[in-house]
Amino acid sequence: MHTRPRVIVIGGGFGGLAAVRALRAAAVDVLLIDRGNHHTFQPLLYQVATAGLAAPSISAPLRHILRDQRNTTVLLGEARRIDIEGRSVDVDGTPHPYDFLIVATGSTHAYFGHDEWARYAPGLKTLDDALRIRARILTAFERAEATRDPAEQMEWLTFVIVGAGATGVELAGTLAEIARHTLKREFRHIDPAAAKVLLIEAGARVLPAFPPSLSTKAQHQLERLGVVVRTGRPVTSVEERSVWIGEERIAARTALWAAGVAASPLGATLGVAVDRAGRVPVTAQLTVAGHPEVFIVGDLTAVPEGSAPLPAIAPAAKQMGHYAATAILAKLAQRRLGPFRYRHFGSLATIGRMAAVADFGRIRLSGILAWWIWLTAHVYFLIGFRNRLVVLIDWAEAYWSYRRGARIIIPIGDSAKP
Amino acid sequence: MHTRPRVIVIGGGFGGLAAVRALRAAAVDVLLIDRGNHHTFQPLLYQVATAGLAAPSISAPLRHILRDQRNTTVLLGEARRIDIEGRSVDVDGTPHPYDFLIVATGSTHAYFGHDEWARYAPGLKTLDDALRIRARILTAFERAEATRDPAEQMEWLTFVIVGAGATGVELAGTLAEIARHTLKREFRHIDPAAAKVLLIEAGARVLPAFPPSLSTKAQHQLERLGVVVRTGRPVTSVEERSVWIGEERIAARTALWAAGVAASPLGATLGVAVDRAGRVPVTAQLTVAGHPEVFIVGDLTAVPEGSAPLPAIAPAAKQMGHYAATAILAKLAQRRLGPFRYRHFGSLATIGRMAAVADFGRIRLSGILAWWIWLTAHVYFLIGFRNRLVVLIDWAEAYWSYRRGARIIIPIGDSAKP
């Protein structure tokens, strides 16, 4: 009975969603599997974590996005294992057969073998992570206000961000702004502006993916906001009240992890050798060697030896997702398709109000102009008219008043299912 | 050293906040204690629970509201016990002395001695409750879509709301609208419009606090939206997959509790006899007998025998809070103050799009006009310009498109503290 080829896409992030959308007119049946019911606009997660935006503002239900794509079914569930020989995906115990498979499950945080640090230094990959970090940050100021012990007060007012990639830089800049501006006049026993925000980077400079000249500018902009930047030595331990750099102890009750990522563990169930970060090696067609029906897209992909590594950013995932869908259509039409080629449009990172860096190859910008480009690009790509408008209002208000619209502490559970 | 009288207000809801604000120009030191960091606009909680609004849209940080009230300190913490003779409040183990005390801790859900039902039928009093209910409702449709067992499917598509006061009516009407309109075209294996929404009321009619003519109109409006209304018999048991009315079993996986409330347990620590619902009896000045320095306001109050009971609505709590503050100022100025008098402005309940009832004594309205009054009043009273604007945008969009802006499932923890 089932005559149309069946395509399973695992993961509704940028890569998976781009693939599903590119298949909208195809004579195939598409099944999109995701653990959550929504697509998350990850580049703005740090805004949810720092109480600037509400979680719904940067997310949209997958079902709603795809409601009019009649060849597509959305399934809320966790893909546990892929049977690559049997061509089937196990979703919470139920096997789902496929003719083509696109795996787009992305990455999660990694603690370099120290998973016990996760408890004290949460990372930022999902909306739950963002709400958990938000609660930690807001609660730290509350605890500082409540205690009369000056040493404990300073521990609560010290924030350490580990890792100075784009996420670390964004968190540090925004936290400094919250301490110095947003919370002004609100406390009676502490001065929130006395809070210390430390950004620790093991490498030689902040934003290592950018040219050195922009790293220097980014560091200056961070320091102007009051962030203390420390580069060149790695964090060696994280505890409830301490972050250690070798023998040096930083007394801090709040640490945030923006350092390491590991590929989604689903890749390891494919039965092929993954790289050290858990990523799956692919051919020039983004397929698993010997399995032209299985595509790997997004952060889970390890590019072939000799190719330049792809940045872990939304445009790369989208291009891969789109390519995988096109490759399936080509195979069905028995057309040939060239190898995947990544087209880099540029890199952007924001630091704070009117502070950002932008790298477009020969053109490198920092400061106000970079910030406007960042703002425009992020609002433009955010899904759905309503989200865009509400985000703009929140940002306009934050800009004029330093207020942040989502300063509520809500307890977040540990499991991904209610 | 401490010469200014010290006023402690417990609870930052409508009653407590009104009291604190009325003390803004007084020569007293005010301490506001709350378990959460935010004021919640409770009349719109059902909108958060039904995915129409984001949680931050109906809440505002207490510190931010009160940042310029220099005589006031906000403390995040739980008041565990009141030592009425020693004039002190225990907040998480630390005693806080007072000269005047205003207790405004409100009420919580009550299951008529069946606390085991709480697990299966969550109630709606706080933002966490709302997010938990939202996750249940959205997950139920996902589970219905995922199963191939028609009986299980129908169980997931059956929603029982227990209690037909304002909250129950609002939840039932909105749920029916979500099933029939919002989710249209989004599922492939179920028709969400086939969902059954049952509203069960032990009393003789829906909205018992309204005149019978408006109850009849409200029931008609609910039925037009597709809600099945059952009155006159109480729910006798709630289980994971069943709601029982006597011998009759309703097979439902989702039950929501909007039936009973009990006063906050803090009232019982005062050492005076509380009534059956846990409320604290007060004098005509809203004070505890023999303790003119201790005021009880809001839902925790049991009015003196012979007085008409006060409705458990925001205006009543606000008036009581304001009165308690005025009474403290009068005592300090050695002025006399008459007894508290409640002024009733009217009652409103909304049912769904363009459907509501309004009771202003002689003037009774239902339908579109009542709905417009409801809408205007709620947006007007919602705190803060930004919240109002965002809520209006969300509602305008929901009105035109039936979309709901906050359809994300986030796991919510059980404790009130992160």
Q: How many CB atoms lie within 10 A of CB A106?
A: 23
CA distances from B185 to B156, B188, B405 (A): 18, 8, 17
| Closest C-alpha among A14, A189, A23, A39 to residue A99 | A23
| Closest C-alpha among A281, A261, A299, A268 to residue A104 | A299
In chain B, the percentage of residues whose pLDDT exceeds 90 is 77
CA distances from B99 to A27, A108, A409, B102, B389 (A): 77, 53, 30, 10, 40
B410 part of contact set with chain A, CB < 8 Å: yes
Least confident of A164-173, A257-266, B80-89: A257-266
Looking at beta carbons, which residues of chain B come within 8 Å of A36? 408-409
H-run or E-run covering B187: none
Buried/exposed code over A25-40 (b: 16+ C-beta within 10 A; e: otherwise): ebebbbbbbbbbbbbb
Residue A393 in this model has a pLDDT that exceeds 80: no
**Cα torsion through A365, A369, A375, A376, rounded to 10:** -100
Compute the residue count for chain B.
Answer: 418
CB A88 within 8 A of CB A98: yes
β-strands A72-76, A29-34 pairing: parallel
* pLDDT-derived band at B388, boundaries 50, 70, 90: low
d(CA A206, CA A164): 5
* Rounded mean pLDDT, A28-49: 94
A145 part of contact set with chain B, CB < 8 Å: yes
d(CA B296, CA B107): 12
For the segment A192-243, what is each residue's pLDDT rounded down to a tens digit? Answer: 999 999 999 999 999 999 999 999 999 999 999 999 999 999 999 999 999 9
In chain A, the percentage of residues whose pLDDT exceeds 90 is 77
Tokens of A374: 């960042």
| Closest C-alpha among B195, B197, B202 to residue B245 | B202
Name every residue whose Cβ is closer than 8 Å to that of residue A155 and which is 6 or more positions away in sequence: A241, A251, A252, A253
Tokens of B260: 């009973």
* Rounded mean pLDDT, A335-347: 93
β-strands A88-91, A79-83 pairing: antiparallel
For the segment B146-191, what is each residue's pLDDT rounded down to a tens digit? Answer: 999 999 999 999 999 999 999 999 999 999 999 998 998 999 999 9
pLDDT the model gives residue B231: 97
Q: How many CB atoms lie within 10 A of CB A379?
A: 15
Tokens of B359: 């009771």
* Rounded mean pLDDT, A88-117: 95
Residue B415 in this model has a pLDDT that exceeds 60: no
For the segment A37-46, what is each residue's pLDDT rounded down to a tens digit? Answer: 999 999 999 9
Task: Please indicate whether, in this complex, the C-beta atoms of B417 and A128 are within 8 angstroms of each other.
Answer: no
Give the closest of B38, B386, B411 to A412, CB-based: B411
Closest-CA distance, A88 to chain B, in angstroms, reads 17
The better pLDDT of the pair B54, A90 is held by A90
B73 part of contact set with chain A, CB < 8 Å: yes
| Closest C-alpha among B46, B70, B23 to residue B124 | B46
Tokens of A402: 């330093």
d(CA B263, CA B267): 7
pLDDT the model gives residue A416: 33
CA torsion sign for A16, A21, A27, A29 is positive
Angle at which helix A212-224 crosses helix A166-177, to 10 degrees, equals: 20
**Which residue carries 């209006």 as its tokens?**
B392
CA distances from B113 to B120, B236, B260, B281, B414 (A): 15, 12, 10, 22, 21
pTM assigned to the model: 0.91
Residue B1 in this model has a pLDDT that exceeds 60: no
- Which amino acid, one-letter code, is at A369? L
pLDDT the model gives residue B412: 63
Burial class (CB in 10 A: 0-12, 13-18, 19+), B246: exposed
d(CA A143, CA A149): 11
Burial class (CB in 10 A: 0-12, 13-18, 19+), A241: middle
Q: Is B305 a catalytic residue?
A: no
pLDDT the model gives residue B414: 45
d(CA A407, CA A179): 13
**Which residue carries 């012990």 as its tokens?**
A149
pLDDT the model gives residue A412: 63
A148 part of contact set with chain B, CB < 8 Å: no
Tokens of B118: 């709480």
Name every residue whose Cβ is closer than 8 Å to that of residue A235 and which is 6 or more positions away in sequence: A162, A200, A202, A243, A244, A245, A259
- Which amino acid, one-letter code, is at A108? T
d(CA A323, CA A285): 8
H-run or E-run covering A96: strand A94-97
Nearest CA in chain A to B59: A408
d(CA A172, CA A197): 7
Give the closest of A138, A409, A418 to B135, CB-based: A418
Measured distance between the N- and C-terminal CA atoms of chain A, rounded to whole angstroms: 36
CB B243 within 8 A of CB B162: yes
In chain A, the percentage of residues whose pLDDT exceeds 70 is 95
* pLDDT-derived band at B92, boundaries 50, 70, 90: very high
Least confident of A63-77, A182-196, A381-395, B308-322: A381-395
B139 part of contact set with chain A, CB < 8 Å: yes
A125 part of contact set with chain B, CB < 8 Å: no
Which of residues 168 through 207 in chain A touch B, CB cutoff 8 A? 183-189
For the segment A290-331, what is each residue's pLDDT rounded down to a tens digit? Answer: 999 999 999 999 987 777 788 889 999 999 999 999 999 999
Tokens of B98: 């007072």
Give the closest of A54, A393, A414 to B54, CB-based: A54
Looking at beta carbons, which residues of chain A come within 8 Å of B414? 411, 413
* pLDDT-derived band at A122, boundaries 50, 70, 90: very high
CB B51 within 8 A of CB B138: yes
Which entry of B170, B177, B186, B397 is annotated as an active-site residue?
A: B170
β-strands A248-251, A242-245 pairing: antiparallel
Nearest CA in chain B to A40: B408
Kindly state the DSSP code that residue B58 receives in the 8-state scheme. G
* Rounded mean pLDDT, B125-151: 94
